[in-house]
Structure formats: structure tokens, C-alpha cells
Amino acid sequence: MFLHDHVYAIVPARGGSKGLPGKNLMKINGKTLIELAIESARDCLYVDAPLVSSDDDAILDEALRLGVINHRRDEFASQDDSTAGDVIRDFLHATDVEIDPSVDPWIVYLQPTSPARTADMVEAAFDVLSEHQPHAKALVSVTHPPKSPYWTLTVGVDGRLHPLFPEVYGLNRQQNDEAFMPNGAIYIFKLSEFLKTGKFPVDGAVPFFMSQEDSIDIDTLEDYERAKAALERQR
């Protein structure tokens, strides 16, 4: 069991999206993606409170409807090239939410674009993290990549193909089982670790393994239709 105070869930939900406009308010099984993300935080035993960050009136209204603390993010954290780090920094300077850096809280970052993630999964991630206490300061959910990263090529200055990772190029499928990639579903970290670099602390983080089916990330209409069909089959 994860025995720590001061755990905040940040649910980032920008209104604009080049790939799929309005995706955070699209519905699966009768619930918006933002609602599913909020539920995965609010129903988790270890989370004190979910906090929604958005630049969009409709999303902020949805958060209010669900009784969740929300924050209208600043312009610098609302651009196409804004990073998750910008969203966290914006929260730290907000006057309408209370995250006290002096207590070095745990932050769990839950993107609405991972609709297969549940509160049970978030709890399980915290339980895995607790097994590595007191030394572990971060956890990242990961899955196997659909293709081996060791076969990746790049075009050199000579205009020809070269292995991106020449020392491991051509490893067989079994060796690829040791490769993982973040799936974007769950990031957990101490605020102090984030403040060191302004980025999610991935190097040295505890892994939380998720299946490719549970790692659906919605960025396009095709992603949404695939996630919707998969989750409706699970009802």
C-alpha cells in the first residue's frame, strides 16, 4: 500500500488539437474522455484530489459539472508546442489551486487520451511504486513497442540509410522483449524531481507495465474509433 500524504492528480485537457479537434469531450460508453480521466483519479484510493488544467471553456465547464477543481491555464502552457512541463509549471504559479511545493507532493499526471486506464490501474501503479520506497522518486507506465526500435534507420549527411542504433541493429524478436516505450497513461513523480529538470523524470523511474490494448492513445479519429470499439466490447 502506498502510504504517503499529498498526492495530486493533474488532468491536462487542452481545447485545441490539430489531430482531432475537441477530442477531450468526445464520448466512450456515454462518458467524455475528460470524465474517464477524472474517474481514474477520483476513484483511486491514494489520490487526494484531481485537478483539471485547460484553456477551453467547455472543458472547464465539464470539470465543474463533475465537481472537480479546475484551472484555466496560462497562454504559454496552451500552445501547440507547449509541453507537459509547461502545464506543471503553470499549476505551480496558479492562484486558484493549491499545490504547496514545500511539502514536496507526489504528482500523478493522467492524460484524457488514455481512456483504457482505470482507477484500479492507477492504484496498482502506486502499489508498484511503494515496493521501491523510499528510494524511487518516479514511475512511468510502459508497453512494448509495436515494432522493434532496434531496426530503426536514419538518413545520414551522405543521403544514405544508416542504423539509428548501430550497436544493436538487427536484434531478433526475442531480444526486442526487453524494449519498452512510455504509453502516456500514467506518470507519477515527486514534485522535487520534476523541478530539477523541468521534465518528467523518466531515466531511473520505476516501470509499470501495461498491455498494448490498455495503452491506446487517442490522437486521431482512427484512434478514437478503435478505442471506442475496444472499450465498448469490454462493457
Q: What angle is formed at CA 108 by the lines to CA 226 and CA 48, rounded to 5 degrees? A: 115
What is the per-residue pLDDT for 179?
82
| 105 Cβ neighbours under 8 A, 6+ residues apart | 6, 7, 8, 99, 190, 191
* pLDDT tens profile 187-205: 999 999 988 888 888 999 9
CA dihedral 8, 182, 223, 83 (to 10 degrees): 60
Cα–Cα distance for residue pair 11/21, rounded to 1 Å: 18
Could you tell me the domains of the chain? 7-144+180-233 (3.90.550.10), 149-177 (no CATH)
Could you tell me the pLDDT band of residue 82, with boundaries at 50, 70 and 90?
Answer: low
pLDDT for the residue numbered 178:
77
Say if residue 7's pLDDT is above 70: yes
pLDDT score for 11: 93
How far is the CA of 127 from the CAs of 83, 120, 135, 182, in angstroms? 28, 10, 14, 19
Secondary structure (3-state) at 97: coil
Dump pLDDT digits (tens) for 107-149.
999 999 999 999 999 999 999 999 998 889 999 999 988 877 8
Mean pLDDT calculated for residue range 28-45: 95
